[in-house]
Amino acid sequence: MKTEHLVAVSEFCVYHNVDNTFIHSLQQAGLVSITMVKEDNFIPETELKKLEKMISLHQLDINVAGIEAITHLLERVEQMQQRLIGMHNKLRLYEEE
Amino acid sequence: MAFIDYYKILGIDKTATDKDIKNAYRKQARKYHPDLNPNNAEANKKFQEINEANEVLSDAEKRKKYDKYGENWQHGEAYEQQTRQQQSRRSSNSGSGGFEGFGGGFGGGEDFSDFFQSMFGGAGSAGGGRRTGYRGQDLNAEYQLNLQDTLQTHKQTLTVNGKNIRITIPAGIENGQTIKIAGHGGAGVNGGPAGDLFIKFNIPADARFKRDGANLYNTIKLDLYTAVLGGDLMVETPTGKVKVKVKPETQNGTKVKLKGKGMPVYKKENEYGDLFITYDIQIPVNLTDKQKQLFEELSKS
């Protein structure tokens, strides 16, 4: 397996000054996926954005359960924002110029 | 340049301990952090203020300096020193954030206020505050198009932070839609991947057509005689005029579908929406006596 698009969990934790167990609990909560290569844990590059968001929440004293709830809510907020754009565009049908 | 009350921003008083400041910062950040407020420019701005307040108050040296001069900061030696050095700083600070060629585009730059810069110098965002990611920062920009620009897929060169990038804008893109340009955001740290660039497209309402997805709508005036007797009519479509047959005895408000004359369907090649036209029948005005007489005859026939 290629490792170029993977980031070692250990390296990532040092950089962000977070504990390995934090990443592990996010994984257990199904919030982030971790890849094992030869007994080492790696984070796929595609998960980094999500993960770094969770770390900033963690640094605001929000625990994993809170992060889990926020993640679901944010997904819904983003869906709603998309729908709102669609509605705005549709409303233009009824606006007089 | 106005004085900024950092204590007020964090909602604490001047006797606050380091722990109070930390807690107040976290409390405010939980409300305004950009990660908790997607696509919310107002919250983003507020967060920058909070960050700046924290940057000053959580740093013993900066706090001391800030407390010493307070509202009389302009009389302080620091200000005078800064003023002298400002010329050189101005030139080295330019070019952070913002996109050339983008209408109202904004970068992810967390620039501190002028007040901060005149008191503490430098751009400031480097030391402490919000830790930058391993992965580069995502950047956001806005780009304006008109309806006509979206009829065909086209390539566009944009200048983002001094770099030229070529993007493809697919036909049929809608107002408010965002395209992700992977890897064109800020650079990563320690070999981390670059962030992405998100371009939001603004397409103002068109003067001629109303749009709903790929379908277009237009109301056109039809003279009474053509409506009654039928005939041909030239109708405007986004790609030019087409001839439309008007059926005899067409009623006011009749809607006609011109198949495939709408907008291209986003990312579906050779698929088009429809153009719906609604007839607004014009009753003749300023009739001559002769015309009135003819209408009277009609009404009795």
**Cα separation values, B301 from A33, A80, B4, B291, B297, Å:** 82, 60, 84, 15, 6
Asked whether the beta carbons of residue B217 and residue A61 sit closer than 8 angstroms, the reply is no
Task: Please check whether residues B51 and B84 belong to one and the same domain.
Answer: yes
In DSSP terms, which residues pair with A55 in a beta bridge? none
Task: Please check whether residues B56 and B105 belong to one and the same domain.
Answer: yes
**Domains in chain A: ranges and CATH:** 6-94 (1.10.1660.10)
Task: Please check whether residues B217 and B145 belong to one and the same domain.
Answer: no
Question: Looking at beta carbons, which residues of chain A come within 8 Å of B41?
Answer: none
Interval B181-211: pLDDT, tens: 999 998 888 888 999 999 999 999 999 999 9
Q: B116 in a domain, yes or no?
A: yes
Task: Please check whether residues B31 and B83 belong to one and the same domain.
Answer: yes
Final residue of a structural domain among B147, B175, B202 = B202
Cα–Cα distance measured from residue B69 to residue B194, given in angstroms and rounded to the nearest whole number: 41
Contact partners, residue A78, CB within 8 Å, separation at least 6: B38
Interval B89-148: pLDDT, tens: 444 433 333 333 333 333 334 578 888 888 887 654 444 444 567 899 888 889 999 999
Mean pLDDT for chain A overall:
91
- The pLDDT value recorded for residue B132 is 66
Mean pLDDT for chain B overall:
85
Q: B128 in a domain, yes or no?
A: no
Q: B134 in a domain, yes or no?
A: no
Is the pLDDT reported for residue B276 higher than 60?
yes
* Closest CA relative to residue B119, chosen from B58, B161, B75, B154: B75
H helices of chain B, where?
6-10, 18-32, 41-57, 60-69, 77-93, 114-120, 224-229, 289-300
Residue B152 and residue B132 in contact, taking contact as beta carbons nearer than 8 Å: no
Task: Please check whether residues B164 and B92 belong to one and the same domain.
Answer: no
Cα–Cα distance measured from residue B242 to residue B204, given in angstroms and rounded to the nearest whole number: 25
Q: Smallest CA–CA separation between B301 and chain A, in Å? A: 40
Nearest CB to A49 within list B130, B135, B174:
B135
Question: Looking at beta carbons, which residues of chain B come within 8 Å of A7?
Answer: 134, 192
H helices of A5-93, where?
9-16, 20-28, 48-58, 64-91
| B132 to chain A: closest CA residue | A16
- The pLDDT value recorded for residue B74 is 63
Q: B125 in a domain, yes or no?
A: no
Is the pLDDT reported for residue B267 higher than 60?
yes
Neighbours of B230 (CB within 10 A): 13
Interval B15-47: pLDDT, tens: 999 999 999 999 999 999 999 999 898 999 999
- The pLDDT value recorded for residue B268 is 94
Q: B130 in a domain, yes or no?
A: no
Which range, of A69-73, B57-61, B121-125, B228-232, averages the lowest pLDDT?
B121-125
- The pLDDT value recorded for residue B83 is 60
Task: Please check whether residues B20 and B87 belong to one and the same domain.
Answer: yes
Question: Looking at beta carbons, which residues of chain A come within 8 Å of B190?
Answer: 11, 15
Interface test with A, best of B23, B25, B130, B131 (most A CBs within 10 A): B131
Q: B1 in a domain, yes or no?
A: no
Question: Looking at beta carbons, which residues of chain A come within 8 Å of B214?
Answer: none
When divided into structural domains, chain B yields a total of 3
- The pLDDT value recorded for residue B298 is 94
3-state secondary structure (DSSP) of residue B238: coil
Task: Please check whether residues B114 and B185 belong to one and the same domain.
Answer: no
Task: Please check whether residues B15 and B110 belong to one and the same domain.
Answer: yes
- The pLDDT value recorded for residue B125 is 46
* Closest CA relative to residue B264, chosen from B169, B156, B176: B169
Cα–Cα distance measured from residue B181 to residue B177, given in angstroms and rounded to the nearest whole number: 13
Interface test with B, best of A7, A11, A76 (most B CBs within 10 A): A7
Query: In this structure, what token pair is assigned to residue B37?
Result: 């407020």
Task: Please check whether residues B92 and B189 belong to one and the same domain.
Answer: no
Contact partners, residue B116, CB within 8 Å, separation at least 6: B4, B52, B55, B56, B124
Cα–Cα distance measured from residue A30 to residue A25, given in angstroms and rounded to the nearest whole number: 9
Task: Please check whether residues B144 and B183 belong to one and the same domain.
Answer: yes
CATH number at residue B288: 2.60.260.20
Sign (positive/negative) of CA torsion B126, B130, B135, B136?
negative
Query: In this structure, what token pair is assigned to residue B51?
Result: 């960050």
3-state secondary structure (DSSP) of residue B180: strand
Q: Does B19 lie at the interface with A, CB-CB under 8 angstroms? A: no
Asked whether the beta carbons of residue A49 and residue B207 sit closer than 8 angstroms, the reply is no
Work out the average pLDDT over B162-185.
92
Strands B178-181 and B139-144 come out as unpaired
Question: Looking at beta carbons, which residues of chain A come within 8 Å of B35?
Answer: 53, 56-57
* Closest CA relative to residue A53, chosen from A34, A36, A74, A35: A74
Is the pLDDT reported for residue B283 higher than 60?
yes
Question: Looking at beta carbons, which residues of chain A come within 8 Å of B217?
Answer: 93
Residue B13 and residue B127 in contact, taking contact as beta carbons nearer than 8 Å: no
3-state secondary structure (DSSP) of residue B217: strand
Asked whether the beta carbons of residue B35 and residue A57 sit closer than 8 angstroms, the reply is yes
Final residue of a structural domain among B151, B186, B202 = B202
Work out the average pLDDT over A64-69.
96
Question: Looking at beta carbons, which residues of chain B come within 8 Å of A44?
Answer: none
Question: Looking at beta carbons, which residues of chain B come within 8 Å of A77?
Answer: 38
pLDDT-above-70 percentage for chain B = 83
Q: B281 in a domain, yes or no?
A: yes
- The pLDDT value recorded for residue B84 is 59
Q: Chain B window 202-261: which residues touch A at a Cβ cutoff of 8 Å?
A: 205, 207, 210-212, 217
* Closest CA relative to residue B234, chosen from B252, B217, B258, B207: B258
Task: Please check whether residues B63 and B162 belong to one and the same domain.
Answer: no
Domain that holds residue B27: 6-120
Asked whether the beta carbons of residue B131 and residue A93 sit closer than 8 angstroms, the reply is no
- The pLDDT value recorded for residue B96 is 35
Query: In this structure, what token pair is assigned to residue A16?
Result: 């962000």
Work out the average pLDDT over B240-253.
97
CATH number at residue B83: 1.10.287.110
Final residue of a structural domain among B88, B120, B152 = B120
- The pLDDT value recorded for residue B103 is 33
Q: B64 in a domain, yes or no?
A: yes
Work out the average pLDDT over B167-171.
94
Asked whether the beta carbons of residue A70 and residue B210 sit closer than 8 angstroms, the reply is no
Higher pLDDT, A38 or A66: A66
Neighbours of B205 (CB within 10 A): 15
Q: Does B286 lie at the interface with A, CB-CB under 8 angstroms? A: no
Task: Please check whether residues B73 and B165 belong to one and the same domain.
Answer: no
Query: In this structure, what token pair is assigned to residue B76?
Result: 């302080």
